[in-house]
Amino acid sequence: MPQRMPHRMPQTRWFASQTASTGVNSWSSRTHTCGELRSSHTGEKVTLCGWVQYKRHGLFIILRDFGGLTQILIPQQESMHRVKECLSDVPVESVIKVVGTVQQRPPGQENKDMVTGQIEVSAESVEILNTCKKLPFEIKDFVKKSESLRMQYRYLDLRSSQMQRNLRLRSELVMKMREYLCNLHGFVDVETPTLFKRTPGGAKEFLVPSRDPGRFYSLPQSPQQFKQLLMVAGVDRYFQIARCYRDEGSKPDRQPEFTQVDIEMSFVDQCGIMALVEGLLQHSWPKENGIVEVPFKRMTYEEAMRDYGVDKPDTRFDMKLMDVSEVFYSTNVGFLQSALSESRGTIQTICVPNGGTLFTRKDMDLLKQKAAQFNQEVTTFQIKADGSIKSPLKKLLSVSTVEELIKKTKAKAGDLLLIAAGSVQTVRPLLGSLRLQCADLLESHAVALRDPSVFHFLWVLDFPLFLPKDECPEELEAAHHPFTAPHPEDTDYMYTEPCRVRGQHYDLVLNGSEIGGGSIRIHRAAEQLHVLKNILKEDPSLLTHLLEALNSGAPPHGGIALGLDRLVAIIVGASSIRDVIAFPKSFRGHDLMSQAPDCVSEEELDSYHISVKWPKEKKTVLPAEETL
Which residue lies nearer to a copy of itself by CB, 312 or 590?
590
- Single out the residue of 36, 93, 120, 311 in contact with a copy of itself (rule: CB under 8 A): 93
Which residue lies nearer to a copy of itself by CB, 1 or 372?
1
Closest CA to 295 of 137, 138, 52, 459: 459
Among the listed ranges 132-140, 372-380, 402-410, 532-540, the one in contact with a copy of itself (CB under 8 A) is 132-140
Closest CA to 363 of 287, 257, 445, 476: 445
Which amino acid is residue 74, in one-letter code? Answer: I
CB of 608 to a copy of itself, least distance (A): 6
Distance, CA of 565 to CA of 578 (rounded, Å): 8
Neighbours of 197 (CB within 10 A): 16
Footprint (CB under 8 A) of a copy of itself, residues 195-224: 195-198, 203, 206-219
Residue 606 interacting with a copy of itself (CB under 8 A): yes
Which residue lies nearer to a copy of itself by CB, 11 or 22?
22
Strands lying side by side in the sheet with 345-352: 322-323, 345-352, 416-423, 379-383, 389-390
- Single out the residue of 525, 529, 538, 576 in contact with a copy of itself (rule: CB under 8 A): 525
- Single out the residue of 61, 378, 550, 561 in contact with a copy of itself (rule: CB under 8 A): 550
Which residue lies nearer to a copy of itself by CB, 250 or 343?
250
Distance, CA of 61 to CA of 295 (rounded, Å): 51
Closest CA to 580 of 292, 289, 284, 173: 173
Residue 143 interacting with a copy of itself (CB under 8 A): no
Which amino acid is residue 600, in one-letter code? Answer: V
Residue 259 interacting with a copy of itself (CB under 8 A): yes
Q: Do residues 583 and 150 lie in contact, with contact meaning Cβ atoms separated by under 8 Å?
A: no
Which residue lies nearer to a copy of itself by CB, 169 or 389?
169
- Single out the residue of 61, 102, 229, 438 in contact with a copy of itself (rule: CB under 8 A): 229
SS3 410: coil
Which residue lies nearer to a copy of itself by CB, 129 or 413?
129
CB of 457 to a copy of itself, least distance (A): 14
Residue 130 interacting with a copy of itself (CB under 8 A): yes
Footprint (CB under 8 A) of a copy of itself, residues 379-408: none
SS3 sequence, 333-392? CHHHHHHHHCCCEEEEEEEECCHHHHCCHHHHHHHHHHHHHCCCCCEEEEECCCCCEECC
Residue 27 interacting with a copy of itself (CB under 8 A): yes
Q: How many CA atoms lie within 13 A of 338 on its CB side?
A: 2
CB of 300 to a copy of itself, least distance (A): 8
Residue 435 interacting with a copy of itself (CB under 8 A): no
Closest CA to 585 of 260, 252, 261: 252
Which residue lies nearer to a copy of itself by CB, 220 or 353?
220
437 Cβ contact list (under 8 Å, min separation 6): 366, 367, 370
E strands in 35-81:
45-56, 60-65, 68-73
Residue 18 interacting with a copy of itself (CB under 8 A): no
- Single out the residue of 189, 293, 342, 365 in contact with a copy of itself (rule: CB under 8 A): 189
- Single out the residue of 16, 59, 385, 499 in contact with a copy of itself (rule: CB under 8 A): 16
Footprint (CB under 8 A) of a copy of itself, residues 308-367: none
Query: Going residue by residue from 480 to 519, which x/- string records binding to a copy of itself, judged by CB under 8 A?
Result: -----x-xxx--------------x---------------
SS3 76: coil
